[in-house]
Amino acid sequence: MSDPKFTDSTLLFGDSITESCASESLHQRMSKRYSRVLDIINRGFSGYNSRWAIPALKEILAKPESPSQGIRLITVWFGTNDAMLPESHQSVPIGEYKQNMRSIVELVRDRIPNTKIVILTPGPTGNTVNPLRHPDRPLIYATPCEEVAIEVGVPVLNVYDVMVKAAGGATPDKLDPYLYDGVHFSSAGYQRVGRRLPNWDTIGTHYEEQMVAQG
């Protein structure tokens, strides 16, 4: 019989790509993987960039889901909206984006120091009707995102590379099967990212053994 009390949790923190609960999404994949081991808390905010993420995270960490529930893992996935063209109110300059990502890591380490952090880079952009998005922009943000993660010692999954390799190139037509509107992931797109979950060096073998032992 399963234990009815609260388990510890994983916090999924990001924009609408995190928010999605569609088939094969990050939420669905993590829920299946850590069933009865970790509760999955989805805090994806549609339209958010890394600038708006910081006050949102402060509020989240100020209000624990339960006094008995600890956040053991947090995924941080921002950059898709930061990478919009400068004319967009959602766009964030690369230098600020990098500092915002550092600040998010620092905030987590300050508030919940024993929590594992995983960063995901923005993915590519395909065919989209939004004139404020351009297919060349995401890579300009994915690379600095990965650099920041390495700099601060946080495991990172380069989603841009995963998707482009799966598609066989970065052209919008090749990416179409993986992005249902040119920005948000289709089930096939999430599946490609999700396939990396079992092999992530992100969480670490010891940490996974710990979770299984305590589950």
> What is the pLDDT confidence band of residue 64, given thresholds at 50, 70 and 90?
low
In a domain, residue 2? The reply is no
- Lowest mean pLDDT, pick from 9-23, 89-103, 136-150, 200-214: 200-214
- Is 205 within the bounds of a domain? yes
Looking at the domain assignment, is residue 4 inside a domain?
Answer: no
Does residue 35 sit within a domain?
A: yes
Average pLDDT over residues 176-201: 81
- pTM score, two decimals? 0.86
Q: What is the CATH number of the domain that holds 19?
A: 3.40.50.1110
156-176 residue pLDDT tens: 999 999 999 999 999 999 999
Tell me: pLDDT of 30 over 90: no
| Spatial contact of 134 and 80, defined as CB atoms under 8 Å apart | no
215 in any annotated domain: no
Average pLDDT, the chain: 86
- The rounded percent of the chain whose pLDDT value lies above 70 is 83
Residue 190 in any domain: the answer is yes
Q: What is the pLDDT of residue 5?
A: 55
Q: How confident is the model at residue 207 (pLDDT cuts 50, 70, 90)?
A: very low
Over residues 131-139, the mean pLDDT reads: 96
Domain count, the chain: 1
Is 169 domain-assigned?
A: yes
- pLDDT category at 193 given cuts 50, 70, 90 is confident
Q: Which residues, in sequence order, are bridge partners of residue 157?
A: 120
Q: Are 38 and 74 in contact (CB under 8 A)?
A: no
When mean pLDDT is compared across 29-38, 143-152, 177-186, the lowest value belongs to 29-38
Residue 1 in domain: no
Q: Does residue 54 register a pLDDT over 80?
A: yes
Domain that holds residue 27: 9-210
Position with higher pLDDT, 204 vs 126: 126
- From the list 120, 186, 195, 193, the residue with the least C-alpha distance to 163 is 193
What pLDDT sits at residue 154?
93
